[in-house]
Amino acid sequence: MNWIKNFNNHIGFLDFSEAERLYELASDAAKKGPCLEIGTYCGKSSLVIAEACAANDSYLITVDHHIGSEEHQPGEEYFDENFYDERLDKFNTYPVFRSYIENFPNKESILPAVGDSKEVSKLWPKNYEISLLFIDGSHSKKSAFADFKAWSDFICKDGYLLIHDVFPDSNDGGRPPYELFEYVKGDKDSIMGLPIKEIINYIKQLKI
């Protein structure tokens, strides 16, 4: 598989075991329709999902404004000076992402949407479903929950909702993705195995 060949050379926060599982789920999901990713960064996970989509005659829409999340800004923990664009005076991952796409054999299966996730969702056709929603955008609580609420209604009946960076122990990573997972789970012991529409309908009864 092409994504494996250059996996270690691509910049990103997805580890190999996560990528393998992501490819497996995306391969199943792509048989039902397009996949959608929130939080492209440099496209490491995008290439994994896109290859699964290409193998199943589907495609990936990946959404990101490419100016970094809160934790990527100057002075923050994950700021990388290599992505600071002096011309824009902003963090900017788009050029690296674009270079990855250009060297990817299945580039026609990746459709970048450059903009704020919530704003992009407003342009999405109401009756056009997605088979997989991968939430890996900003890790602030406001943004993580906004991404979920903006896109969850578009997931098809047998689709997948995936949340990256879910760490029960706060020493291992930021809390908002885990808090979103707990919110999705609600007072149920587990949501694993439940139909996605049942999960979403249940969530709509909850408040944060």
Q: Hey, which residues are catalytic here?
A: 139
* End-to-end CA, the chain: 41
Q: 113 near 62, Cβ under 8 Å?
A: yes
Indicate left, alpha or beta for 39 from its phi (over 0: left) and psi (-120 to 50: alpha): left
DSSP assignment string, 162-201: EES---SSTTTS-SHHHHHHHHHHTTSS--TTS-HHHHHH
The span from the CA of 152 to the CA of 69, in Å, is: 21
Q: 42 near 96, Cβ under 8 Å?
A: yes
The structure tokens listed for 18 are 């996560």
